[in-house]
Amino acid sequence: MDRILVSACLIGWPVRWDGGAKTAHHPLLARWAEEGRLVPLCPETVAGLPTPRPAAEVEPGATARDVLERRATVRDAAGGDHGDAFREGARIALATARVRSIRFALLTDGSPSCGTTGIADGTFSRTRRIGEGVTARALADAEIEVFPLHEIEALAARLDL
């Protein structure tokens, strides 16, 4: 049975930067939870960032790969550098996936860790841009298929093939 690494906030854990969750009420998530498929993880909290914490964004014009390769970082609005924590969260997520033989991840789009199709533009203006989060990029680089919530049915079609 395929297991799915899932952003913990999607299943109701209050781990987001603002102390909240981004709970997704979807029948597939409920079924997968009952089946024991879900492996919840918040890369930011497993890396030691507190909840709540300052909102953080990948630097303007930089990519998740830039952050992973230390050419850029993830900053909060006050300029605090959180790149090491985001890299560590990605490392832990990848190690978890490898230990559990996970081939799929369902992540929170928009997040500087878990974004799959879009992230904030780095200016703290609530503007989004095409891009991915640091953990999403690390997982994809390791050939783990990464899906945002709005593609949950595509993920369902890939399970146990």
CA distance 89 to 87: 5
- In whole numbers, what is the pLDDT of the chain averaged over residues? 97
Containing 148, the helix (H) or strand (E) segment is strand 145-148
Domains in the chain: boundaries: 4-158
Give mean pLDDT, residues 37-41.
98
Report, as an integer, the average pLDDT of 19-25. Answer: 97
Amino acid 160: pLDDT: 77
Give the pair of three-digit tokens for residue 154.
């595509």
pLDDT at 133 over 80: yes
Cα–chain center distance at 118:
11
Mind listing the pLDDT tens digit for each residue in 88-131? 999 999 999 999 999 999 999 999 999 999 999 999 999 999 99
